[in-house]
């Protein structure tokens, strides 16, 4: 009787060498060795990075299992892109190329092997893929179509050998297989209407209403970002244009957007007028403008009205059901909202004084309105930075405080992307890397246009030593917010990823740029010192350590291991300290 150990739903991936018999006939030993090398150097690390396992090798085929369709496809694309890069300088007739098939379905685990229709379908649809291509079943496509920015080609229904019913199939578009990720991302994003919401201007005599204009801008950006059918420039880049004259053509070229929205507010007493104009950057023409009058008591209802009209003008196919689900904020106390906006003004300076000031505003906001999700999540963000930047006097206590406010934020609004980002950070600080990665993925699901969500996703992958997987979301963060006030963090994060992957010169270049702008995060200089030391640039590395000690006079290697980088994968941490030890640095 067969020993059936387990039955479960899984994503099955089958990869097979193209024209294997022909390659064997031409050079048997070289083909076999190439196959083994590709498997050990490319397949095995990527399979592990994306949470999968190799079930077995069958001749020239590799059978893999993954916990989800998303992970399976991300791994498969990384493998195919890796093979394209490896074959770039190999003669076409000698190149080892793979076809890949993916199906999600019920499988049976028996003595470590995988059996069932899921395996059969994956192996059958693999043969339909192009060389360097991927074909997936319709069951797989339904799992990922709204979660991954990937171009798919509808290949129709196919009759497969020994499969009773025709299977609808989709293929990873062969026309983009040989493009790098930046080109692919650009092509995908050009399929969406793209827009930047410029900071609304305060035309009132009352300068205290400045926060109101900023808050209205931010809330419109946040609301629009929830639509997967739009590509929305992140708020941090948007606010880099504050107090600048509006040059439609220049801004559109810099940000690569089609639509530019600008507006203003004018208030008198308790009355407010909001003026909005939508411009087509290609023609330079105003395609829509309007004015809205209301009371300050009705500002949130007014904001929702503007957002709804603006969305429909940009893209008629926006799902109005989804729009109606954008959370109304009528219940937020106006004073709490004002304090929250003032906290945001202090937050991104990133020195000790400004972080304490931001935390004070956020604390006051949640004291007034304990159901204010964004205030709770931003308070958790601020507290977590006390830990990351070395300002915490009690790390465990601050992590606990941050966790309390994250959970309150999620209780108020479980679609608050920043709350999920902060949950990811807390898990990372607790070395619960799998949970951190899952929470960051949830943040992206809540807000697919959040540069911050992609940054925290990349960070969670970096802390878990999943370096190749971390690079793409880090690049996405740059794309979504190219002028972000936290750009220095994006830069030193990418420097860390590339440096640990062995790209030392590029890492040092990014870290140099990260320290070129004033900020209070000592990690930029620390990362520069670490990779300068490995490159033998001792003088520059020592100068960077001087900058670290200037920002954080109490820094030591012991504190780095036990506190500041304690959440980091031990292999990365050991290499980090080993290279820093080449410099004159407090132990």
- The model's pLDDT over 16-43, given as tens digits with 9 standing for 90+, comes to 998 888 888 888 888 998 899 999 888 9
Residue 192 has a pLDDT of: 60
Give long-range contacts, CB 8 A cutoff, 24+ apart: 271-280. 271/295, 271/296, 272/212, 272/296, 272/299, 272/302, 274/200, 274/216, 274/302, 274/306, 276/306, 276/310, 278/310, 278/313, 278/314, 279/248
Nearest to 136 by CA among 155, 120, 162: 155
Which region, left, alpha or beta, applies to residue 551 given φ > 0 means left and ψ of -120 to 50 means alpha? alpha
Compute the mean pLDDT over every residue in the chain, rounded to the nearest whole number.
82
Alpha-carbon gap, residue 224 to 201, rounded angstroms = 19
Q: How confident is the model at residue 381 (pLDDT cuts 50, 70, 90)?
A: very high
Over the stretch 259-311, which tens digit does the pLDDT of each residue have?
Answer: 888 888 888 877 888 888 888 787 777 777 777 777 777 666 766 666 655 55
The string of DSSP codes covering 369-410 is: -TT-HHHHHHHHHHHHHHHHTT--S-HHHHHHHHHHHHHHHH
Is the domain spanning 6-178 CATH 3.90.1150.180? The answer is no
pLDDT of residue 433: 93
Range 41-58 average pLDDT: 88
Structure tokens at 396: 């465990």
Domain covering 190-324: architecture: 3-Layer(aba) Sandwich (3.40)
User: What DSSP state is assigned to residue 2?
Assistant: -
**387 pLDDT band (50/70/90 cuts)?**
confident
pTM: 0.55
- In DSSP terms, which residues pair with 294 in a beta bridge? 272
Domain ranges in the chain are 6-178, 190-324, 486-587
CA 397, 419, 346: angle at the middle one, nearest 5? 75
- Of 225, 199, 226, 198, the closest CA to residue 212 belongs to 199
Q: What is the mean pLDDT of residues 172-196?
A: 49
The C-alpha atoms of residue 325 and residue 206 are separated, in whole angstroms, by 34
Q: Supply the pLDDT for residue 108.
A: 80
What's the distance, CA 345 to chain centroid? 24
Phi/psi at 254 (5° precision)? -65, -40
- Between 231 and 198, whose confidence is greater? 198
Q: What is the pLDDT of residue 307?
A: 60
Half-sphere exposure of 504 (CA within 13 A, CB side): 11
Strands 61-66 and 259-268: unpaired
Per-residue pLDDT at 311:
52
User: How far from the centroid of its chain's Cα atoms is residue 98's Cα?
Assistant: 28
Q: Which of 340-354, 430-444, 477-491 has the highest mean pLDDT?
A: 430-444
List the beta bridge partners of residue 201. 264
- Residue 5: the pLDDT is 62
pLDDT score at 464: 95
Mean pLDDT of 537-556: 93
CATH for 486-587, options being 3.40.605.10, 1.10.390.10, 1.25.40.10, 1.10.645.10:
1.25.40.10
Q: What is the pLDDT of residue 525?
A: 94
Q: pLDDT of 311-328, one tens digit each?
A: 544 443 333 322 333 333
pLDDT value for 305: 65
N residues, the chain: 587
More confidently predicted of 298 and 571: 571
pLDDT at 348: 67
**What is the per-residue pLDDT for 326?**
36
Q: Average pLDDT of 133-137?
A: 90
| The pLDDT value given to residue 188 | 36
Note the pLDDT of residue 325.
Answer: 36
- Per-residue pLDDT for 130 more than 70? yes
Using the predicted structure, report yes or no on whether residue 185 has a pLDDT greater than 50.
no
What is the average per-residue pLDDT within 186-212? 72
Q: What is the DSSP code string of 355-379?
A: HHHHHHHHHHHHHH-TT-HHHHHHH
Residue 90 predicted with pLDDT over 80: no
Residue 260 near residue 281 (C-beta atoms within 8 A) = yes
User: How many other β-carbons are positioned within 10 Å of the β-carbon of residue 46?
Assistant: 22
- pLDDT of amino acid 45: 86
Does the pLDDT value for residue 576 go beyond 50?
yes
pLDDT of residue 253: 80
| Inter-CA distances, 24 with 91, 135, 314, Å | 15, 25, 56
Closest CA to 135 of 147, 145, 123: 123
Q: With 50 as the cut, is the pLDDT of residue 488 above it?
A: yes
pLDDT tens digits for 495-529? 999 999 999 999 999 999 999 877 778 999 999 99
Give the pLDDT score at 334: 67
Give the pLDDT score at 318: 30
* Residues of the chain above pLDDT 70, percent: 86
């Amino acid at each position: 009787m067969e020993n059936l150990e387990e039955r479960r739903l899984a994503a099955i991936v089958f990869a097979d060498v193209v024209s294997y018999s022909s390659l064997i006939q031409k050079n048997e030993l070289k083909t076999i060795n190439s196959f083994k090398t590709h498997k050990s150097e490319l397949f095995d690390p990527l399979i592990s990075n994306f949470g999968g396992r190799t079930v077995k090798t069958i001749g020239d085929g590799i059978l893999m299992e993954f916990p989800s369709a998303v992970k399976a496809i991300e791994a498969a694309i990384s493998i195919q892109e890796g093979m394209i890069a490896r074959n770039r300088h190999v003669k076409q007739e000698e190149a080892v190329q793979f076809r890949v098939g993916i199906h999600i379905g019920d499988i049976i685990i028996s003595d470590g092997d995988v059996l069932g229709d899921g395996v059969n379908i994956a192996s059958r649809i693999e043969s339909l893929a192009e060389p360097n291509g991927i074909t997936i079943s319709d069951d797989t496509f339904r799992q990922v179509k709204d979660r991954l920015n990937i171009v798919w080609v509808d290949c129709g229904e196919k009759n497969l050998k020994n499969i009773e019913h025709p299977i609808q199939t989709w293929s990873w578009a062969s026309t983009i297989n040989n493009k790098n990720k930046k080109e692919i991302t650009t092509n995908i994003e050009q399929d969406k209407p793209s827009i930047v919401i410029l900071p609304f201007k305060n035309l009132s005599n009352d300068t205290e209403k400045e926060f109101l204009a900023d808050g209205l801008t931010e809330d419109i950006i946040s609301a629009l970002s929830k639509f997967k059918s739009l590509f929305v420039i992140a708020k941090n880049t948007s606010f880099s244009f504050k107090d600048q004259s509006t040059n439609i053509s220049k801004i559109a070229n810099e940000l690569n957007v089609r639509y530019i929205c600008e507006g203003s507010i004018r208030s008198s007493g308790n009355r407010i007028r909001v003026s909005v104009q939508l411009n087509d950057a290609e023609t330079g023409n105003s395609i829509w403008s309007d004015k809205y009058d209301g009371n300050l008591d009705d500002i949130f209802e007014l904001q929702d009205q503007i957002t709804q009209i603006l969305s429909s003008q940009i893209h008629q196919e926006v799902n109005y059901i989804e729009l109606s689900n954008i959370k109304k904020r009528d219940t937020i106390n106006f004073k709490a909202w004002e304090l929250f906006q003032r906290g945001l003004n202090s937050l991104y300076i990133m020195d000790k004084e400004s972080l304490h000031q931001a935390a004070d505003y956020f604390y006051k906001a949640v004291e007034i309105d304990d159901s204010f999700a964004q205030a709770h999540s931003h308070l958790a963000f601020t507290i977590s930075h006390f830990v990351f930047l070395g300002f915490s006097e009690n790390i465990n206590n601050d992590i606990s405080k941050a966790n309390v406010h994250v959970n309150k934020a999620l209780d108020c609004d479980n679609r608050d992307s920043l709350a999920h980002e902060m949950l990811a950070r807390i898990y990372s600080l607790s070395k619960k890397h799998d949970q951190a990665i899952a929470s960051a993925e949830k943040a992206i699901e809540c807000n697919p246009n959040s540069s911050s969500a992609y940054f925290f996703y990349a960070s969670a992958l970096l802390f878990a030593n999943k370096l190749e997987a971390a690079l793409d979301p880090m690049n996405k963060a740059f794309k979504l917010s190219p002028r972000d006030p936290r750009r220095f963090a994006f830069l030193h994060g990418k420097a860390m990823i590339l440096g640990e992957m062995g790209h030392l010169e590029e890492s040092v270049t990014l870290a140099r740029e990260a320290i070129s702008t004033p900020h209070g995060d000592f990690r930029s200089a620390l990362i520069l010192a670490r990779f300068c030391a490995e490159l033998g640039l001792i003088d520059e590395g020592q100068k960077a350590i001087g900058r670290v000690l200037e920002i954080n006079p109490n820094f030591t290697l012991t504190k780095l291991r036990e506190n500041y980088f304690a959440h980091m994968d031990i292999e990365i941490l050991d290499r980090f300290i080993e290279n820093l030890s080449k410099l004159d640095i407090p132990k």
